[in-house]
Amino acid sequence: MSTPLDRRGLLAATAAFVIWGLMPLYWHLLKSVPSLQIIAHRILWSAVLVAGWLYWRQGRGWLRATLHHPRAAGMLALSGMFIAFNWGLYIWAVNAGHVVETSLGYFINPLLNVVLGVALLGERLNRVQWLSVAIAAAGVLWLTFNYGSFPWIAIALACSFGVYGLIRKIVAVPPVQGLGVESLYLVLPAVAFLLWSEINGQGGFATAQSARGWGMTVAGLLVFGGALTAVPLIAFADAVQRIPFSMVGLMQYIAPTLQLLCGVLVFGEPFGSERMIGFALIWIALAIFAADGLLRSRRRTNVPAS
């Protein structure tokens, strides 16, 4: 007999993936601000929000408990660098007109995670999973040779987020607590860069103060970007505790699908037949991979207890 789904978990997962999927619209509003400043503001304000949330929920002990283990602390410093690179490249790509390619990166990411698991964690794939990886690789090769250029933005986003996820799996620190430590590692260089930019009259706040109306909106958007970083992750962390992980795995494709729609329908990026064929191969690979995972999950659920 199937277990009824937790409504709160389902809503939390949906909210997280929809926010991530619509983020290109938000970052595009900050197109006038250099990407490095956007990422620095994102680090700063997400650190403030996440640290405050953790202090409210767990007191001071959350930071001490993590930093007490040198290996975990060092690995989180490394994962922080990977996620900062991922955020920065994503924001730059959105504001440089590459939203469609960013969506490709997050379509590829689940399959890349599988490859990393095989190569570095000794995990094994069945024939169906290997088939899905091969079809996805064919899609990337098609985009490279028929569209005219290697999709380096997509590959870099998928690889950086894949390595980030791999590190976080090895460290096994709770998601929000890990983000808090990563943000605190990154916050000092972010603040130093922002202060330098503001002192030299090149910062987002300095630009906002010199403008009227929209300028103050830009300043508010920079601050609110921290909430857009933290809130979906907190919602996601809540969701994975409440609904089956197989459902989370299927729902994760909401985000890149919305990103693709934003790129094509809102920003008018080209999506001709060459790109369509490459994306179609990757979608077929994902469908095979997701169907195999769902079937295996149902078989495990239906096995009677001995």
CB 268 within 8 A of CB 24: no
- Nearest by Cα to 120 from 160, 162, 59: 162
Distance CA 200, CA 115 (A): 45
Look-up of token digits 């920065």 = 88
Q: Is 82 exposed, middle or buried (0-12, 13-18, 19+ CB in 10 A)?
A: buried
Angle between helices 70-95 and 99-121 (to 10 degrees): 150
pLDDT tens track, the chain, 306 positions:
445 567 888 898 899 999 999 999 999 988 888 889 999 999 999 999 988 888 888 877 778 877 788 888 899 999 999 999 999 999 999 999 999 999 999 998 888 888 888 888 888 888 988 998 899 889 888 888 876 678 899 999 999 999 998 898 888 788 888 888 999 999 999 999 999 988 887 766 655 554 444 555 888 888 899 889 888 988 887 887 787 766 777 788 899 999 999 999 999 999 988 889 999 999 999 889 888 877 876 776 665 544
162 vs 159, 221, 245, CA distance in Å? 5, 28, 18
List Cβ neighbours of 155 (8 Å cut-off, separation of 6 or more).
Answer: 105, 108, 140
pTM equals 0.86
Nearest to 129 by CA among 110, 142, 143, 150: 110
Distance CA 137, CA 128 (A): 14
Distance CA 158, CA 142 (A): 17
